[in-house]
Chain A
């Protein structure tokens, strides 16, 4: 049973560019959340998608946007990249009965470096 898969694993972009990160949730999960983890910090919540809509959003600017597809996979888009966007981006999926009961399953992340 595949867990959460993310692509690409590593990415180098230039300041000002745009980037798209992809995530496939664990089989049977329908909710996808994205986190940003800067070096030496804990994961910070970006947003959560359910039924193809953004359900919750953390304290991130509009440069961060996302999408969820009918097969529950998701994309994270970041526009006008800043050096401070360099981080590990983690995708997490959760069970339909709710994260409060089962917690999240995380992918291995995409390491984004902005130069």
Chain B
């Protein structure tokens, strides 16, 4: 079974639309960490956010916001007023002691923002 599921393979929006990228995870550990990374065409994975399992507060950073819900094992990512520069592949990852804290990545969601 997949540890991290990103069901949306590709999302296409027009600039200024809001978009939410879904992430569902699976773990038996009570302490774990969740991450979001952005991968532009250059290939480098850019760190966006880290959230530990004891902190369920939602976080906002500029146009980015994250909704962590342990009850549904979800860690969704919303981009408000999307821009063309947001076009990239976004990965959700899980780091857990049962996996020696080696991040396990989802398959990614490709976001295309049209002008």
A→B interface (CB under 8 Å): 33, 35, 40-45, 48, 55-56, 58, 88, 90, 92, 98-100, 102-109, 111
**A103 touching B43 in the complex, CB below 8 Å, given contacts A33-B102, A56-B100, A98-B101:** no
* Cβ of B64 under 8 Å from chain A: no
Between-chain CB contacts (< 8 Å), 28 pairs = A35-B105, A41-B107, A41-B108, A42-B4, A43-B91, A45-B102, A45-B103, A45-B104, A88-B43, A90-B43, A92-B45, A99-B95, A99-B102, A99-B103, A100-B33, A100-B101, A103-B47, A104-B45, A104-B47, A104-B103, A105-B47, A106-B44, A106-B45, A106-B46, A106-B47, A107-B44, A108-B42, A109-B43
CA distance A109 to B89 in the complex (A): 15
B44 and A109 within 8 A (CB): yes
Residue of A nearest to B37 (CB): A106
CA distance A101 to B43 in the complex (A): 24
For chain B, the bracket of interface size reads 20 to 34
CB interface residues, B 1-60, toward A, < 8 Å: 4, 33, 35, 37, 42-47, 50
B43 and A42 within 8 A (CB): no
CA distance A107 to B105 in the complex (A): 16
CA distance A98 to B113 in the complex (A): 35
Q: Whole-angstrom distance from the CB of A105 to the nearest CB of chain B?
A: 7
List of 7 A-B pairs having minimum Cβ-Cβ separation, nearest first: A42-B105, A106-B45, A108-B44, A109-B43, A100-B101, A42-B107, A108-B43
Residue of A nearest to B44 (CB): A108
